[in-house]
């Protein structure tokens, strides 16, 4: 009997001791949980602050990029007297060429353009489409003759013909293209030809762009010319393959 009471006493003491330890641990766990809650709250605030800082940084970077994108580029003039941006010759209403400038001043580019056009012409023939160059290189003197002739015959000549010194043809990199029908030569009827459709779909593969697209007269100064293609090389032509972006827009020119 005494032995049983002793065992009971020990067991009871063990239970009380265990309960005390449990309660002590429970208090510690509760305190730890409360502590964690406070820490979590702090971390949450820190994360919130970090996200806000990141948003502000992104906004700042975006504003910098937008500001950079609106900065106009002024072409530089090379030793041969042609304005250019990163090697791409720029000739438009604002940037012209010296009177004595000719395709020989960019002979390497001229030769590249010749080879590219020949390859394009051959590949088009494989697709059953034939075209040729109506006009390519025109000297300052020839352009002057063309321009003055238009002035005598037609109004608003500056919307479709360049003044001497301001024509891409003087570089030899501009190609006026037509097909079999002489009635579509250098006029808006060319837009309805299979040649035009083929060029719009494939010319960029050879380094050519449609130089004066539709609805860009306020940028280029010229009306839509579906026949006028310019050799710029494939690095640029692939970027402009949609046929709706001008060189002025591409380089963000002044």
**pLDDT value at residue 43:** 57
**pLDDT value at residue 153:** 86
Query: Residues 227, 231, 237, CA angle at the centre, nearest 5°?
Result: 100
Tokens 């030899």 map to which residue?
172
Radius of gyration of the chain (CA): 38
Instruction: Select which of 99, 183, 191, 225 is catalytic.
Output: 225
The model's pLDDT over 220-250, given as tens digits with 9 standing for 90+, comes to 999 999 999 999 999 999 999 999 999 999 9
Closest by Cα among 212, 202, 34, 209 to 119: 202
**pLDDT value at residue 45:** 63
Active site residue 225: yes
- CB burial of 15-45 (b: ≥16 within 10 Å; e: otherwise) equals eeeeeeeeeeeeeeeeeeeeeeeeeeeeeee
Joined tokens for residue 44: 């949450």
Closest by Cα among 183, 168, 169 to 136: 169
**pLDDT value at residue 71:** 87
**pLDDT value at residue 47:** 56
Cα–Cα distance for residue pair 110/93, rounded to 1 Å: 22
CB atoms within 10 A of CB 68: 9
Low-confidence ranges of the chain (pLDDT < 50): 1-24, 26, 30, 32-38, 40, 58, 61-62, 64-68
The model's pLDDT over 10-44, given as tens digits with 9 standing for 90+, comes to 444 444 444 444 444 545 554 544 444 445 455 55
**Considering the entire predicted model, what is its pTM?**
0.73
């Amino acid at each position: 009997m005494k032995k049983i009471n002793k065992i009971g006493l020990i067991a009871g003491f063990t239970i009380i001791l265990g309960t005390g330890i449990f309660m002590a641990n429970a208090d510690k766990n509760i305190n730890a949980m409360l502590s964690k809650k406070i820490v979590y709250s702090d971390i949450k605030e820190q994360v919130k602050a970090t996200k806000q800082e990141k948003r502000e940084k992104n906004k700042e970077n975006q504003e910098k990029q937008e500001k950079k994108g609106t900065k106009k580029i002024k072409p530089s003039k090379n030793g041969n007297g042609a304005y250019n941006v990163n090697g791409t010759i720029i000739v438009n209403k604002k940037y012209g060429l010296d009177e004595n400038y000719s395709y020989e001043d960019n002979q390497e580019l001229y030769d590249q353009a010749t080879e590219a056009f020949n390859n394009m012409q051959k590949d088009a023939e494989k697709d059953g489409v034939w075209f040729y160059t109506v006009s390519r290189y025109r000297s300052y003197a020839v352009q002057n003759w063309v321009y003055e002739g238009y002035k005598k015959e037609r109004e608003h000549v500056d919307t479709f013909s360049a003044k001497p010194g301001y024509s891409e043809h003087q570089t030899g990199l501009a190609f006026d293209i037509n097909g079999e029908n002489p009635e579509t030569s250098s006029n808006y009827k060319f837009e309805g030809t299979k040649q035009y459709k083929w060029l719009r779909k494939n010319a960029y593969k050879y380094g050519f762009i449609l130089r004066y697209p539709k609805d860009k007269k306020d940028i280029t100064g010229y009306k839509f010319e579906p026949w006028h293609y310019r050799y710029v090389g494939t690095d640029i032509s692939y970027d402009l393959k949609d046929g709706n972006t001008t060189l002025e827009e591409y380089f963000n020119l002044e």
